[in-house]
Amino acid sequence: MGQPRRITDSFPRRRRPGRPPGKIKVKGKGKGKACPKSCPPAPTEDPPAPASAPAQAVLDMLRHFDLCWEYGPCAGITRLQRWERAQALGLSPPGPVLDAILEHPNDPAVTYRWVSHPT
């Protein structure tokens, strides 16, 4: 019984032109050198906070909307899609929820349902 075959035995070996056979390229050779001039400078201060972060009361209202089963399931869709679906079905979802969603369209804490487990 011979040696076990490897997956690489099925493919032909390719050599790059200009490199002698058996020569291995060293990957960690240039570590510790300074960045070239094209690298952006490292940030010296914390990034600015979003201008209009939602208040905790808004997030609590949205969490209450998530937990109300009368507006249908909330898995796999955004809060806006759920609100619009409930409106189309005539379930009269709360208006302040829509206002909060439209006020913070780019904030994932408002747009999507976040499941938080108590620790």
pLDDT tens sequence across 61-73: 998 998 888 988 8
Reported as a single tens digit per residue, the pLDDT across 28-42 is 555 555 545 555 555
Establish if 4 belongs to a structural domain: no
Task: Let me know: does 113 contact 79? Beta carbons within 8 Å.
Answer: yes
* pLDDT > 90 in the chain, percent: 16
Question: Left, alpha or beta for 18 (phi > 0: left; psi -120 to 50: alpha)?
Answer: left
Q: How many domains does the chain have?
A: 1
- Is residue 76 predicted with pLDDT exceeding 90? no
Q: Residue 102 is part of which domain span?
A: 53-118
Establish if 114 belongs to a structural domain: yes
Establish if 92 belongs to a structural domain: yes
